[in-house]
Amino acid sequence: MRRLIAFIILSASLLCITGRSRVSAQTRHGADSIAVSAVIVGSDTIPSITLQIVEVIDKLPKKFRKQREAWTRLRNAVYVTYPYAKSAARILKDVNSHLATLSEKRDRKRYLADIEKKMKAEFGDKLENLSVYQGKVLMKLINRETGENCYEIIKELKGGFSARMWQTVAFFFGGNLKSEYDAQEDKDIEAIVQEIEMYRGGYRAYN
């Protein structure tokens, strides 16, 4: 509507100017003079310049600015954390497959300790740099990729005590290890994931 009003006003103004009789510009005087068309109004000669039509666009309303900012924040978080979720799914699959071959509790414990050490060396610094908001998105993406929430994964690999302890820590930072991915509730996350998959031709996680 604002564009239409601006167009009508500008068109009407040009019509008023160009609708009057046109005459050639007066004789140029001086090297810095510019020849232009002119219209005669009574006894006056007025320079006439036809401007190009332009669009007049208002600022984005505050409501929509906030929506755009929220979308940009979520999109950045998904782009940052999606590779880690993909890696987590692959690593968890490998770990579960290997654990199935170990019958001794001592061997399982030693194997998990070794995996944990390797993961800390590879991902520790990167994950520590994530914001609380990015951490929440990551937990949802891990659930999307593995079918298990972070609480269940920790409980399965480290035991119930560790799971409860980390759930308490997450709670104090506004998080929840039991966060689960909901296709309807998290449709914006899904749209961004599909964008990543589409533009990268099938996303390949780290490693």
66-109 pLDDT, tens digit each: 888 999 999 999 999 998 888 888 888 888 888 888 888 888 88
User: Which residue carries 């520790």 as its tokens?
Assistant: 124
pLDDT of residue 191: 93
Pairing of strands 37-41, 44-48: antiparallel
Asked if residue 200 has pLDDT above 80, the reply is: no
Helix axes 105-128, 62-99, angle to 10 degrees: 160
Cross-strand bridge partners of residue 22: 39
Asked if residue 65 has pLDDT above 80, the reply is: yes
Cα separations in angstroms, 198 against 77, 89, 90, 98, 123 = 18, 20, 20, 33, 26
Beta strands in the chain (DSSP E): 22-23, 37-41, 44-48
* Nearest Cα to Cα of residue 205 among 86, 124, 91, 121: 86
User: In which band, very low, low, confident or very high, does the pLDDT at 15 lie, cut at 50, 70 and 90?
Assistant: very low
* Nearest Cα to Cα of residue 50 among 67, 36, 32: 36
* Nearest Cα to Cα of residue 58 among 15, 131, 2: 2
pLDDT of residue 29: 55
pLDDT of residue 19: 42
Asked if residue 148 has pLDDT above 70, the reply is: yes
